[in-house]
Structure 1
Amino acid sequence: MRFNPKARLDTGRVRDRGRGGGGGGFGGRSGGGMAIPGGLRAGGGIGGVLVVVLFLVLTQCVGGGGGGGLPGLGGAAYDTSRFADTDRYESCETGEDANNDPDCARVAVENSLHDFWSDELGGRFQPVDQLATFSGSTQTGCGGATSDVGPFYCPGDSSIYLDTTFFDAVLERQLGGPDGGFVEPYVLAHEYGHHIQNLLGAMGKVRTQQGPQSDAVRLELQADCYAGMWARAATSTQDADGQVLISELTERDVQEAVAAAEAVGDDRIQQKTRGQVTEETWTHGSAAMRVRWFRTGFETGSLDDCDTFTARSL
């Protein structure tokens, strides 16, 4: 993946909160943390993420209410202005910066996703409030989160959160996922897909939380499909001045996305963490399902073809 050196980057929606404070009532081993659909709570040390991952790796923070958002969180009214922003992205100005710095590459990917979905949805589009990186722990519109949660989208404040150490510490080392330059863009595209679902009302369709045909699985597979849609069109996305943002996306990049999707399939995770596969507890879909739906989005580029909620076969 290569960025156009002439492209200009917009850092207005990308924030870094630095390292969150300890103590303060969430995370850690005390059992606090973010509520997870199905009654689990995110928390504990990095080893515990392999349990939490069944619910939250590349995932949603989804409540059961209609129209997106979690019950009682106030939706977009959640105030994030009190959180300090570090200067992590201050030097990210051009596509050349993105080619040389993974932090700036993150900005460029967010800009590309913003442009793609703005064109795709037209008047229905609203940008994410922020793509926020953090270390250790942070507060969100979905409650307190620690690094153990993995990357996630919070409909409570329309924001994407991630601790960037996740990719090496968890996805690669613990789950056996790929180590490549397009892995993080795939993850960000998946999480942005949840934002699109929030805008279009798909989150309000989630009633059943577990099982290979459950609504939760359908939600996750649709986000994978949306990630594929963006990847298909990535090299045509533009900055505010009409300069192409991404100059090259190779078949190797696509294969890295596919390998990442496989690594976070429920069956792969269960086999690695439990030594057996239990389909009735699936929340994200099998490795084959995730690859199939990413490929569907990549090959068709169609919102209609990504309608997993009406699909008879996943």
Structure 2
Amino acid sequence: MKFNPDADLDTSSVEDTRGSGGRGGGLPGGMIPVGGGIGGIILLVVILLLSGGLPGSDSGDQPAVQNTAAGNLDSCKKGSDLQQNSDCRFVFYQNSIQSFWAAELPRRGKKYIPAPMRVFDGSVSTGCGPATSAVGPFYCPPDKRVYLDIGFFKTLQTDLGARGGEFAEAYVVAHEYGHHIQNLYGILDRIKSRNGPTSDSVRSELQADCLAGIWTNHATTVPNKSGQPLITELTEDDIARGLDAAASVGDDRIQEKTQGQVTPESFSHGTAAQRMKWFKTGMDSGDMTACDTWSANPL
């Protein structure tokens, strides 16, 4: 994945609150954001993580994720700032995803309302209730915000078995913004059933994967406000890492890892195969009309 060093970055809707001492209060099990996205599935492994990790997990061979001081994303003004602050890549992701949807939705007759991305560590207060880092990335509809603890991406590798990499991170952010698109269209209000292989929750999550794929299709052509492309190259390895990340947070993979068996009746996000399928559907088509998971049968 290559970023344009000459691109102008916009941090006006990126809130870096790391190190601010926020308090979420209690375990994350009491906090269930609507459209919880990638982060929602982490609720299944919270207790195991707090008690020392998943059975058989070994973090020794996995690369650590570099974090920077609180507010450091505010300094990400140019693409070249990435050389001094590797976390600036998250500003690239957010800028590219928002710029794409800000152009795509009006083209379809729908106004796009920007959604800030709040980067936190430890805990955070939201319109959906208090949350801790163990929840993982999530979208909160009342806030119209994406919440992200960058440390999640280490968990994605060490405890969920993903290969990781920059595009795996970008996929996760794009998925959460997919929930924002659903919110703008009123789709999240349709979620009534939250468990089961064909539940509303599963259909919503798979649609968010598909919407992430749509952005991926256009990622290298999305410009910033000055017309400069933000992301200049995605390789086959990048795409493979994105698909791998989608598979690693499939319900069946998580359940097999945490409880040793798969129980479809408790699915909330879809299987590894389904998550890869719908991400690829969006990526191959680049068209929102391909993302109708609500009428799809089979999923």
Q: Which amino acid aligns with 1:34?
A: M
TM-score computed with the length of structure 2 as normaliser: 0.85
Query: Which residue of the partner structure matches residue 65 of structure 2?
Result: none
1:161 to 117, 135, 147: 147
Instruction: Report whether the alignment pairs 1:150 with 2:136.
Output: yes
Q: Which amino acid aligns with 1:308?
A: T
Q: Distance in 2 between matches of 1:279 and 1:46?
A: 23
Closer/same/farther in 2, CA of residues 254 and 41 from structure 1, 3 Å limit: closer
Q: Distance in 2 between matches of 1:50 and 1:224?
A: 27
Instruction: Report whether the alignment pairs 1:10 with 2:26.
Output: no
**What's the CA shift for 1:35?**
3.7
2:123 to 137, 140, 143: 137
Closer/same/farther in 2, CA of residues 198 and 89 from structure 1, 3 Å limit: same
SS at match of 1:18: coil
Closer/same/farther in 2, CA of residues 220 and 186 from structure 1, 3 Å limit: same
Q: Which amino acid aligns with 2:31?
A: M
**What's the CA shift for 1:155?**
0.4
**What's the CA shift for 1:91?**
2.1
Instruction: Report whether the alignment pairs 1:34 with 2:31.
Output: yes
TM-score computed with the length of structure 1 as normaliser: 0.81
Closer/same/farther in 2, CA of residues 86 and 173 from structure 1, 3 Å limit: closer
Residues 21-51 of structure 1 show CA distances to partners (whole Å, capped at 9, x for unaligned) of 47x67224xx8741467xx996768337999
What's the C-alpha RMSD, in Å, of the aligned pairs? 2.5
Instruction: Report whether the alignment pairs 1:298 with 2:289.
Output: no
Closer/same/farther in 2, CA of residues 125 and 178 from structure 1, 3 Å limit: farther
**What's the CA shift for 1:20?**
5.4
Q: Distance in 2 between matches of 1:101 and 1:280?
A: 44
Closer/same/farther in 2, CA of residues 259 and 299 from structure 1, 3 Å limit: same
- Answer yes or no: is the 8 Å Cα contact 1:27–1:137 preserved in 2: no
Residue identity over aligned pairs, in percent, reads 48
- Answer yes or no: is the 8 Å Cα contact 2:201–2:269 preserved in 1: yes
**Structure 1 segments (4+ residues) deviating >2 Å:** 19-22, 40-51, 96-102, 123-129
SS at match of 2:232: strand
Q: Distance in 2 between matches of 1:308 and 1:41?
A: 23
Query: Which residue of the partner structure matches residue 179 of structure 2?
Result: 194
1:264-279 correspondence to structure 2 within 5 Å: 264-279=249-264
**What's the CA shift for 1:201?**
1.2
- Answer yes or no: is the 8 Å Cα contact 2:42–2:134 preserved in 1: no
Moved more, 237-246 or 127-136: 127-136
- Answer yes or no: is the 8 Å Cα contact 1:209–1:283 preserved in 2: yes
Closer/same/farther in 2, CA of residues 219 and 251 from structure 1, 3 Å limit: same
Q: Distance in 2 between matches of 1:6 and 1:132?
A: 25
**What's the CA shift for 1:205?**
1.3
Q: Distance in 2 between matches of 1:251 and 1:172?
A: 20
SS at match of 1:132: strand
> Gapped runs of 5+ residues in structure 2?
35-40, 55-68
- Answer yes or no: is the 8 Å Cα contact 1:25–1:32 preserved in 2: no
Q: Which amino acid aligns with 1:244?
A: P
How many residues are aligned here?
275
